[in-house]
Amino acid sequence: MFLPKYPDSPTPPPAHTHIPTDTAAPPRRSLPSVSIDQKTVVALVVGGVVLTALLAAVAVTAISVAVAAVVLRSMLRDHHRR
């Protein structure tokens, strides 16, 4: 009976070999230290409050414009029925 021939080594050799180098990695740069004082915190909080107030004003304006549009549409529809 014919039996297939199997290779002597069942695992293939690695495609590439890792060659260690003696050179060290370049040193990492550290980020500059940032000092956060009380004035910075107050400025961020005030800025957040102002931006939140502006966003609320835009939302209220959008809602009022939408309500005005619905009222005007209703009035014009009633006017065209006559």
* Separation between Cα atoms, residue 32 and residue 76, nearest integer Å: 64
Rounded to whole angstroms, how far apart are CA atoms 46 and 58? 18
- pLDDT 10s digits, 7-58: 666 676 677 777 766 666 677 778 777 788 899 999 999 999 999 999 999 9
6 has a pLDDT exceeding 90: no
- pTM score, whole prediction: 0.49
Distance CA 25, CA 27 (A): 6
